[in-house]
Amino acid sequence: MKQQIKEQIAEYLGEPAVADKIFVFEELDSTNGEAKRRIRDGAASGTVILANHQTAGRGRMGRSFYSPKDSGIYFSMILRPNLPTEELVQITTAASVAVCRAVRTVCGAELSIKWVNDLYQNGKKVCGILAEAVGSAVILGIGINCTTRFDGELAKIAGSLNLQSERKKICLIAELIRQIGGLEDAMINQNWQEEYRSRSMLIGKTVFIVAEPETDYTVLGIGEKGELCLADQEGRSRILNSGEVSIRLRDGMK
Ligand code: BTN
């Protein structure tokens, strides 16, 4: 990954100083890992870590995130938000909307959100988001498959945006910085929740919890705090508060 992309991103945003907060690597274990190390060294809010390749890209629930070179955007941004703890939890949901907005601006594509924060296009996951808290700082780690090719079982569930142009990739990174950097304001103004719901691919569908595959639930909606509201076949309600459970659509999506 070329160092001059820092300046190209700053030029796109019309903010030369942004370049000083961007750190570009050819290879890292994980951009979130590097962000963690930098938080311990006092990195400022708005610091961005980019890598062309991750050797140990991490996903939610202890999964790995496939991060081959020259094919995806592997991005982490450090935020030090001034938000009450209960609102901090919602930063993950707000980040999903922020990434959808960035992709729409640059690629003209409308992504769907699978609760909590997996982004899909044409029924395949094209982007994952891993939010991690380190003290009062938050790392938003975003992995976007631009041209990544998947084999075997993975090819059934994962896809790519088919974003070939290097120029457009730089624009997308810049839009991510604009959108993720503006998250705190977006959360204060609450102008992301309706969009989150309208992009949700689960509302109204029949799903099951992977750990309890015998029970079907209908997804009623998404609550004020980003929780998933379900009803079982007898009409009993169940609320899922965190993404630490895996949900699948009964009709086949993984
Ligand atoms: C998921 O799908 O469960 C979340 C995947 C998040 C992947 C991104 S890539 C950049 C950042 N660094 C990581 O190690 N993970 C996130």
Would you say residue 81 has pLDDT above 50?
Answer: yes
Atom of ligand 1 nearest to the CA of 127: 2
Q: What is the mean pLDDT of residues 179-191?
A: 85
- Pocket of ligand 1 from Cβ distances under 6 Å: 30-32, 54, 57-60, 63, 65, 74-76, 118, 128-130, 141-143
Distance 173 CA to ligand 1 centre (A): 15
Distance 237 CA to ligand 1 centre (A): 31
> Which residue has the CA at smallest separation from atom 11 of ligand 1?
141
Distance 9 CA to ligand 1 centre (A): 21
Tokens 């993404």, located at residue: 243
> Which residue has the CA at smallest separation from atom 9 of ligand 1?
143
Which of 130, 177, 247 most suits a substitution to test ligand 1, by most atoms within 8 Å of the C-beta? 130
Q: What is the pLDDT of residue 252?
A: 59
The mean predicted confidence, pLDDT, of the chain is 93
Q: What is the mean pLDDT of residues 215-242?
A: 92
Tokens 């041209």, located at residue: 147
Distance 72 CA to ligand 1 centre (A): 11
> Which residue has the CA at smallest separation from atom 15 of ligand 1?
58
Would you say residue 85 has pLDDT above 80?
Answer: no
Please state, for a pLDDT cut of 70, what percent of the chain lies above it: 98
Distance 233 CA to ligand 1 centre (A): 34
Distance 231 CA to ligand 1 centre (A): 31
Q: What is the pLDDT of residue 167?
A: 96
Would you say residue 4 has pLDDT above 50?
Answer: yes
Amino acid at 92: T
Higher pLDDT, 3 or 68: 68
User: Is 223 within 8 Å of 189 (Cβ atoms)?
Assistant: no
Q: What is the mean pLDDT of residues 96-120?
A: 96
Name the burial class of residue 13, with classes exposed (0-12), middle (13-18) and buried (19+) by CB atoms within 10 angstroms of its CB: middle
Would you say residue 253 has pLDDT above 70?
Answer: no
Q: What is the mean pLDDT of residues 76-97?
A: 89
> Which residue has the CA at smallest separation from atom 1 of ligand 1?
59
Q: What is the mean pLDDT of residues 203-216?
A: 94
What pLDDT digit, counting tens, does each position of 40-64 carry? 999 999 999 999 999 999 999 999 9
Q: What is the pLDDT of residue 114?
A: 95
Residue 107: other Cβ atoms inside 10 A: 20
| CA dist., res. 125 & res. 119, Å (int) | 6
In which band, very low, low, confident or very high, does the pLDDT at 254 lie, cut at 50, 70 and 90?
very low
| CA dist., res. 100 & res. 49, Å (int) | 20
Instruction: Please report how the helices 91-107 and 166-181 are oriented relative to each other, as an axis angle in degrees rounded to 10.
Output: 150
In which band, very low, low, confident or very high, does the pLDDT at 245 lie, cut at 50, 70 and 90?
confident
Distance 65 CA to ligand 1 centre (A): 6
203's tokens: 């509302």
Atom of ligand 1 nearest to the CA of 31: 12
